[in-house]
Structure 1
């Protein structure tokens, strides 16, 4: 096995730093000695086969789990002690499907993003501006009064992105958010993420479509328990990291955008 490819340049203060992290469920190792930094303003795509530890690594990065060995820092603090949740927008793997049963409106979901920031009592004018601005940025203003459960999968994705934007998050993390969504909506969604990243929002995306990641991400991490690659997408497609991680010959299909 080759060692993970290092990024040629790293900032002095990464937004997330994973240093030699190991994690397992009981005696079953899921991640072994993984080290990776997430730079502010980057768009990191996490790829690997099913069961490779992608979601677990994201959990460690967000402080939702604590490594058995090694360290993880988030905004310069131990990730599992970080408590400024408003700085993170997290869309879990089944979020859009779970939203089918939510008996609330789009605006009410987006307003949830303001809960950590608002003062006790009613929403302020600043809160209302943040909610309206977030819905406008993702193109769902016309859906504000619709029930979330009556939206398409692609529309529900945008609602959760707007919720993160309303909180004024610095980091947006998504775990396979396009499962069950049609191809056209997926492409629009990826373009939206790229546009948000271009404004300075840091994005971490777990995605099974490797072509999407190589097309839209600024950085790629390929893993299967261990890290096989960490670096630029153009360099990634020239390596054998995919074959090593998946154990078979893999081909990358690029998406036009």
Structure 2
């Protein structure tokens, strides 16, 4: 008989577990008693008004911040102690804008995703194949030699997704990734996320366009300091959660797949 270690987990266990978490900046409370699990294969859409604590919750989930009270686990470890970075692809807020100054090519940017896998020396054949496969999956192979800073916002989004895929991440986390991107590129981007999620990749997304989130996500969490809703998108739309969380009338416009 063997004893299961902390890192040997049942496949059905949550990828992330947030348990009664509270957090404040100085005297200002940001999150209060929030509990939520992210199951494998979920596409979680995290919504709420500006200043509701969404980005802070993401940072707690990823171990970039520690809760004042409560606990957060990531792949079974305490989130702030988790050190297997290749399992998580994180596209931070406004990254597509800051990427305007990146002096590297698309292939070089995607290659960064393989650094955690590389042993001493050159990249292996498996590394190179993972890089090419990642670019192919998001449709940027033809841009491989282009400078990232010269791409459109939608194209830069795909570069960062490809970098996460090259690392063979199990979890993709995106914080308002479509800021400054045109409507057509946004629709293509969310269809890409939907396709990647359908292959088994777990996705967490912060997005202000509630119609997009309810169209593509498999689960909705609505936050405004506390958690107002966590569940099925159709049920979310049919409740009065939007008005309660946002403090005003909200209307959801659905987007076609």
TM-score range, shorter chain: over 0.9
Secondary structure of the 2:52 match is coil
CA contact (8 A) 2:66 2:80 kept: yes
Q: Is the 8 A contact 2:12 2:40 kept in 1?
A: no
SS in 2 for 1:222: strand
Match of 1:120 in 2: 120
Rounded Cα–Cα distance in structure 1 between residues aligned with 2:184 and 2:239: 30
1:12 & 1:95 partners in 2: Cα distance? Answer: 32
Map 1:29-48 onto structure 2 (within 5 A). 29-48=29-48
Partner Cα distance (2:215, 2:255) in 1: 6
User: Where in structure 1 are there 5+ consecutive unaligned residues?
Assistant: 1-10
TM-score, normalization: structure 1?
0.95
Is the 2:12–2:39 Cα contact (8 Å) retained in structure 1? no
Cα distance, 1:121 vs. partner? 1.3
Aligned length: 247
Where does residue 200 of structure 1 map in the other structure? 200
Alpha-carbon separation, structure 1, partners of 2:147 and 2:138: 17
- Unaligned 5+ runs, structure 2: 1-10
Q: CA deviation at 1:238?
A: 1.0
Q: Which residue in 2 is equivalent to 1:5?
A: none
Report matched runs for 1:81-230 at 5 Å. 81-230=81-230
Q: Secondary structure at the match of 2:41?
A: coil
Please list, as runs of the form range in 1=range in 2, the aligned pairs for 1:43-82 lying within 5 A after superposition: 43-82=43-82
The CA RMSD over aligned residues, in Å, is 0.8
TM normalised by structure 2 equals 0.95
TM-superposition CA deviations, 1:92-138 (whole Å, max 9, x none): 01111111001110000000000011101111111000000000000
SS in 2 for 1:189: helix
Give the 3-state SS of the residue equivalent to 2:18 in structure 1. strand
Q: Deviations over 1:168-195 (max 9, x none)?
A: 0000000000000000000000000000
Question: 2:12 and 2:177 mapped to 1: Cα distance?
Answer: 31
2:97 match: secondary structure: helix
